Amino acid sequence: MVVRGVHPAPVEIPDAVHALAGWYVGWGSVTPVWRNDLGGLTFRLEGAPLLPGPDTGSRPARYLKWVPAGAPCPDPFAEAGRLSWARRFAVVPKVIDVGRGDDGAWLLTEELRGTSAIEPRWRGRPRAAAHAIGEGLRLLHDTAPVADCPFTWTPAARTAALPAEARAAVGRPPAVDRLVVCHGDACVPNTLLHDDGTFAAHVDLGELGVADRWSDLAVASRSVARRFQDPQLVTEFFAAYGIAPDPDRIEYYRRLWDVVERHRTRLWR
Ligand X SMILES: Nc1ncnc2c1ncn2[C@@H]1O[C@H](COP(=O)(O)OP(=O)(O)O)[C@@H](O)[C@H]1O
Q: Is the dihedral of CA 151, 143, 185, 118 positive or negative?
A: positive
Q: Which is nearer to ligand X, 42 or 159 (CB)?
A: 42
Residue 179 phi, psi (nearest 5):
-75, 130
Q: Nearest distance from residue 72's CB to ligand X, in Å?
A: 12
Binding residues vs Mg ion (CB under 5 A) = 190, 204
Q: DSSP label at 207?
A: T
Sign of CA dihedral 269, 30, 65, 241: positive
Residue 145's contacts (CB-CB under 8 Å, 6 or more residues apart) are 89, 181
The one of Mg ion, ligand X, none whose footprint includes residue 29, by CB under 5 to 8 A per kind, is none
What does the alpha-carbon distance between residue 219 and residue 236 come to, in Å, rounded to a whole number?
15
* CB nearer to ligand X: pick between 81 and 93: 93
Site for ligand X (CB under 6 A): which residue of 90, 181, 203, 211? 203
Residue of 80, 95, 116, 122 that binds ligand X (CB under 6 A): 116
Given the complex with ligand X, which of 151 and 252 has the nearer CB atom?
151
B/e letters for 55-71, b = 16+ CB within 10 Å, e = fewer, are: eeeebebbbbbbbbeeb
**Residue 158 contacts residue 258 (beta carbons within 8 Å):** no
Task: Choose among Mg ion, ligand X, none what residue 109 binds, the Cβ cut-off being 5 to 8 Å by kind.
Answer: ligand X
Binding residues for ligand X restricted to 152-191, rule: CB under 6 A:
189-190
By CB under 6 A, is residue 34 in contact with ligand X? yes
Q: How far is the CB of 203 from Mg ion (least distance, A)?
A: 6
Phi and psi based region of residue 223 (left: phi greater than 0; alpha: psi -120 to 50; beta: remaining): alpha
Q: Which partner from the list Mg ion, ligand X, none does 117 bind, CB cut-off 5 to 8 Å by kind? A: none
Residues that bind ligand X (CB under 6 A): 33-34, 36, 40, 42, 63, 65, 93, 109-112, 116, 189-190, 203-204
